[in-house]
Amino acid sequence: MSDLLTRYAGWLAAQAPNTAAAVRPPASDADIADAERELGAALPASIRELYRWHDGGPDNSDRALWLTHDFGFLPLETAREHRRTSREIAEEDFGPEEADFYWDRHWFPIGTSWTGDLLVVDCSTSPARGRVSVAGNEGPMASNPVWVDLNALVGELVGALENRTPLSGYVPAARDGWLVWEELS
């Protein structure tokens, strides 16, 4: 993971210096431990490493630190708030027994689309541990994993940046010092 994050940081510094300058400083070990205590599970090592790299990016879709072409990296405290709120809504709407189907107690959000969808990591002890999926605001999209783990997700992102290749129909570009994603025409 550290090699991928180093390559991502290098690309940002060279191609999108405003994005590089807008990222948040690393999360502290105490903040990560607080998130784990609240979750009731350890975050996968790659997620801890991601937050030790940076504690997310700006909460703004025009200035995001992107994890994919459409999900910005959430600061740890914002991720915790999204998790609490999503879990509370699931329990209120469906009851404690059914809530896991809509918002699994082991999901931890790391990215936002700013439209209600969240990029979540499975932090359970099951074989699904570490999988990164999309949890929609209208149902359990995370039941179908999108990436086997964070390394796969960041590897895909870094490859797209370095090779200027599309991700889901969007190509990375630098505009006025910011990383942006342009739709293929």
- Amino acid 20 reads A
Instruction: Name the one residue in this structure whose structure tokens are 């190509």.
Output: 171
Burial of 9 (0-12, 13-18, 19+ CB in 10 A): middle
Complete domains list, the chain, with CATH: 2-165 (3.40.1580.10)
Determine the distance from the C-alpha atom of residue 126 to the mean position of all C-alpha atoms in its chain, rounded to a whole number.
20
- pLDDT tens sequence across 52-106: 999 999 988 889 999 999 999 999 999 999 999 999 998 998 888 888 888 889 9
Instruction: Name the pTM for this structure.
Output: 0.93
| Residue 113 predicted with pLDDT over 60 | yes
Burial of 52 (0-12, 13-18, 19+ CB in 10 A): middle
Q: Name every residue whose Cβ is closer than 8 Å to that of residue 55 and which is 6 or more positions away in sequence.
A: 24, 25, 26, 27, 31, 75, 76
Beta strands 170-175 and 178-183: pairing type?
antiparallel
